[in-house]
Amino acid sequence: MAFNIPKEITPEALASRLNNGESLLIIDVREPQEWMEGHIAGSKHIQLGQLLERQDELDLAQEMFMICRSGSRSGLACEMLSERGFNVVNMTGGLMDWTDRLV
């Protein structure tokens, strides 16, 4: 892997799309403890270490937004999935830069 992230979105742009009522597939790749401390409403939790073994739960054609704490793990997730033909977008800055509501 050459750490090549095909597409990126800022936390502000993602929050804006969600607040405008768009139905987006958001995959949170953080660890279980991080997930329980707060996550974006409606997001799906698949920790990075389980991503490839659970890739059959994902739709190859649907655009997915990958998130983590800082944007690094989600970037790696994007690279892993894009190499397998998935349409993925990395949220830069991760939840550290997220200013919208968490559940």
Residue 1 clears pLDDT 50, i.e. is over it: no
Q: What's the pLDDT tens digit per position in 5-34?
A: 679 999 999 999 999 999 999 999 999 999
The domain over range 8-96 is classified in CATH as 3.40.250.10: yes
Strands (E) across 1-103 are located at 8-9, 25-28, 44-45, 64-67, 88-91
Q: What's the pLDDT tens digit per position in 54-100?
A: 999 999 989 999 999 999 999 999 999 999 999 999 999 999 999 99
Counting other chains too, the contacts that 53-60 makes at CB distance below 8 Å and 24 or more residues apart are: 55/81, 55/84, 55/86, 58/27, 58/86, 59/25, 60/85, 60/86, 60/87
Model pTM? 0.93
CA 25, 28, 32, 38 torsion-angle sign: negative
